[in-house]
Structure 1
Amino acid sequence: MKPTLLLAAFLTVPAFAADIQVEKQGSVLHFTTGGKAICDYQMEAGDVPEGVAPVFKHGAHLHPVYSPSGKLVTGNHPEDHRWHRGIWLAWTKTEFGDSHPDFWNQGKGDGKNKSGDQILAEVRFDKLEKSWGGADVGGFISQHLYLDHSHSPDQKVLNETWNVEVSQKDLDGKPANIIDLTSTQTCATDKALKLPTYHYGGLGVRGNQAWNPVDSVTMLTSEGHDRKSGDSTKGKWVHIGGQVDGAPTGMVILIHPSNFRFPQPLRLNPKNPQLCIAPSQDGDWSIEPGKPYISKYRILVFDGAPDPKWIDAQWQNYAK
């Protein structure tokens, strides 16, 4: 073999990476490439759809999120759970001093359409530190507040920083939109946030409304479980998907091995296209003053059916 050919044989052709543009419009950051949407970050609480109670206004989440071909993969304000919001982080069953703020079910109550009279606890966008676009990656750094409204004045419970990077790349022959999300939560007071055993709360994902019928959504975990067998199991990754405009598409959430209680417990909702990575399933724990709680996830959005071998390879790359 000639030296030039020998050298070429050992060269690795870099994966394609797209230019990422970011535009701020009001309280939304839009991430696009080549004029095609990748995802939005909703900062302050956005408007609710017609007919939805204003108590369900919410922000501090990602929605809409799209595949490389432009297919929508997330849902927001669904009829069965108006408080579900694209991709978000929140705790459900908690203890904070003498109160029990529920940051997940924002606006939920016993009234008509499950709406309450007021928000008793919430995750609220606080400020945008910075945002950027670039030749290979865009992103933002922002601050959220976990607020308990059951006391007067409102009580700050947690401060949270989101560090998010957005890109589009060819990964081993498959185009993917990539969202790297790192959440850092710290106590806002000298009191811990106690998190009793519970089956959900943590990273939440709501799928496209088209997947709402029970038989229209598919889920798959790193351990080979489907939607029915995978609930309350653990995994390194979890996929949710279904048909959009007549073709399969979806997203997989890769769980970083540094995360608390990795491989992390999973809640795969049996009634709607929603899942949660829920560390509280494994027993009581708490977020303590002076000890930041850091969680890292990589969300790959792609067209086509899930290939477990391809996903495993992407998880290995992320884990390293």
Structure 2
Amino acid sequence: MTARLSTVHALGDRVTVSADGTELLSYVYRPDPEPFEAPKPYIHPLRTLTGNPVSGYRPHDHRWHKGLQMTASHLSGQNFWGGVSYLGPEEEYQHVPERVGSMRHDGFSAVTADDERVGLSSNLTWIAHSGAEWASERRGVAVHSVDTEAGAYAMDWSIHLSNVRADGEPLRFGSPTTAGRDMAGYTGLQWRGPRDFTGGQVLTPSGPAGDEDTMGTSAADAEWIGFTAEHDDTDARSTLLFAHAPENLGPDAVHASHWFVRSRPIPTAAFSWAFFEEFELPHGESFAYRYRVVVADGAWDHERAAAYLKGLQW
């Protein structure tokens, strides 16, 4: 069985998507104004079909973590992740406001909705702290495949990014690991879970796994991972699945992807596009990635997750 999807603009700063009256998510396109948090559009709250929350917002340990958001922790000396910047093994993390950039929502090119699919297409500009426009982005977010029997739905997130720097310089994408911190390759599309998801179970195609077993795994070896946890307040569990589109893993991808995932001390996962090595995007050139996030009620195991993902078309 399917539920009817609907969408509404709310307060002039977000688009909400609901299924049979349950709000599934809000895409906030007029982001929080705090410069140190690298203002950028994000999805929060993110909920299951029964309304259980599966995203965290401005947690006390990382105020710049906001639900599901596109980030770039190290980009040509700028920080589009937010917060403190990792400067290397000797200086480690420092408060460097002049390194923190932002992403400007320039408008929606399309907002489409019917009973089975909601799609948002938008244009953004990545802006360095100096005010220089560095990148132009075409973004897509689509909610689809609502399945009430499975208790799940899918959301696809696409990015097409172009280097538009006026100085003609390349964009160099990296991470704390490329800057010298071991196994801290966070960057790219990032999810932050709610506080009660701390200590949740990580899933991989081969079975349940610990953080240390999954961290840094190549997406070519595990094209999806999952995260399942128990809620506070309600007697319920929820599961999220994070999956790469096939072209992300092919020879035309701009760079190989790896997984960043933790259940402790914080619940988070990221599709890292520059975990171990930097890559460059020359001036005037572009790259694209597509990702999928499945949000489900209940504690799924890896076999159920694999079967469900296999049944979804890209």
TM-score clears 0.5? yes
Aligned residue for 2:307, secondary structure, equals: helix
C-alpha contact 1:60 1:144 (8 A) present in aligned 2 = no
2:215 match: 231
TM-score norm. by structure 2 comes to: 0.82
C-alpha contact 2:163 2:283 (8 A) present in aligned 1 = yes
Deviation track 1:16-59 (CA, whole Å, cap 9, x = no partner) reads 33321111012010101221111110101137xxxxx7743734
- Percent sequence identity over aligned pairs: 20
The separation in 1 between residues aligned to 2:161 and 2:312, in whole angstroms, is 22
The CA RMSD measured in Å over matched residues stands at: 2.6
1:7 match: none
1:288 match: 282
Is the counterpart of residue 91 in structure 1 residue 78 in structure 2?
Answer: no
Aligned residue for 2:75, secondary structure, equals: coil
Is the counterpart of residue 267 in structure 1 residue 260 in structure 2?
Answer: yes
TM-score norm. by structure 1 comes to: 0.80
Aligned residue for 1:135, secondary structure, equals: coil
The separation in 1 between residues aligned to 2:275 and 2:288, in whole angstroms, is 18
Q: How does 1:38-57 map to 2 (within 5 A)?
A: 38-46=24-32, 55-56=36-37
Aligned length: 285
Is the counterpart of residue 182 in structure 1 residue 158 in structure 2?
Answer: yes
The separation in 2 between residues aligned to 1:56 and 1:156, in whole angstroms, is 18
The separation in 1 between residues aligned to 2:7 and 2:38, in whole angstroms, is 24
1:12 match: none
Letter in 2 for 1:255: H
Is the counterpart of residue 308 in structure 1 residue 285 in structure 2?
Answer: no
C-alpha contact 2:155 2:292 (8 A) present in aligned 1 = yes
C-alpha contact 2:257 2:274 (8 A) present in aligned 1 = no
Displacement of 1:175 in angstroms is 2.4
The separation in 2 between residues aligned to 1:307 and 1:86, in whole angstroms, is 23
C-alpha contact 1:84 1:206 (8 A) present in aligned 2 = yes
C-alpha contact 1:45 1:57 (8 A) present in aligned 2 = no
Structure 2 segments unaligned to the other structure (5+ residues): 87-93, 179-184
Deviation track 1:42-98 (CA, whole Å, cap 9, x = no partner) reads 101137xxxxx7743734111111111110001110110111111111111222xxx
1:248 match: 237
2:123 match: 143
The separation in 2 between residues aligned to 1:319 and 1:226, in whole angstroms, is 29
Letter in 1 for 2:259: L
1:22 match: 7
* Structure richer in helix, relative to its length: 1
The separation in 2 between residues aligned to 1:161 and 1:230, in whole angstroms, is 30
Deviation track 1:227-285 (CA, whole Å, cap 9, x = no partner) reads 23211112211112311222110211111121137873111134200111112124221
Bigger mean CA deviation after superposition, 55-64 or 264-273: 55-64
Structure 1 segments unaligned to the other structure (5+ residues): 1-15, 48-52
Seen in structure 2, the aligned counterparts of structure 1 residues 312 and 201 have a Cα distance that, compared at 3 Å, is same
Q: Max radius of gyration: which structure?
A: 1
Letter in 1 for 2:19: T
Is the counterpart of residue 207 in structure 1 residue 193 in structure 2?
Answer: yes
The separation in 2 between residues aligned to 1:123 and 1:237, in whole angstroms, is 27
Seen in structure 2, the aligned counterparts of structure 1 residues 130 and 137 have a Cα distance that, compared at 3 Å, is same
Displacement of 1:187 in angstroms is 0.9
C-alpha contact 1:177 1:302 (8 A) present in aligned 2 = yes
C-alpha contact 2:40 2:102 (8 A) present in aligned 1 = no
Letter in 1 for 2:126: Y
Aligned residue for 2:247, secondary structure, equals: coil
Aligned residue for 1:281, secondary structure, equals: coil
